[in-house]
Amino acid sequence: MKSRLRISFLVGIAALATALTAASSAAACSCIRLDVRSFETQDEAIVAKLLRVDPVGDGQLSSDYVFQVNRSFKRPDRVERGDRIRVRSATSGASCGIEQPVGSRFALLLGRQDGRWTSNLCLTTTPAAMRRLAAKADSGSSTNVDSGCSASA
């Protein structure tokens, strides 16, 4: 009886683990490659170092990501080198939240919504890729670069 109960328990745990794995992959963020149009339609483009992540409310849905700006590509009069800015994004990468580790330096496109900076995983890339996008936007050419989402389509 005990072994039958133990087997039923283990089968149940295995089924639960399989269901959770399937649910997490089904909820994964899906991004397209960043292009010049992405660059042009966003309010700002920066290279910055992620200093910390501050949960908003209970932290389940969104967080404020605090960055120190290294470079601004679009409006250096609005966001300057050395500025610390707060960027609102989803907390989870599955919801396209920013997934870079604290202390890392990367590039991201920013929008303005309700008076605050916003971004997401799909709007992040490497500093070199952002420089290429900015140069192509200035020259009127088009190009694509990989976004920060590992599931780029």
Check if the beta carbon of residue 109 is closer than 8 Å to that of residue 77.
Answer: no
Architecture of domain 34-145 in this structure: Beta Barrel (2.40)
The DSSP code sequence of 72-89 is ESS-TTTS-TT-EEEEEE
Distance (Å, whole) CA 31 – CA 121: 8
pTM beyond 0.75: no
Helices (H), 27-91: 36-41
pLDDT for position 10: 37
Among 105, 110, 104, residue whose Cα is nearest residue 86: 110
pLDDT for position 149: 57
Distance (Å, whole) CA 141 – CA 36: 8
Check if the beta carbon of residue 148 is closer than 8 Å to that of residue 100.
Answer: yes
Helix (H, G, I), strand (E, B) or coil at 115: coil
Distance (Å, whole) CA 121 – CA 24: 16
Helix (H, G, I), strand (E, B) or coil at 90: strand
Angle formed at CA 147 by CA 56 and CA 123, multiple of 5 degrees:
40
pLDDT for position 1: 55
Distance (Å, whole) CA 86 – CA 69: 11
Question: pLDDT of the chain along its 153 residues, tens only?
Answer: 555 544 444 334 444 343 333 334 346 788 888 888 889 999 999 999 999 999 998 868 999 999 999 999 998 778 999 999 999 999 988 889 998 999 999 999 999 999 999 999 999 999 999 999 999 988 876 666 666 554 433
Domain boundaries, the chain: 1-28, 34-145
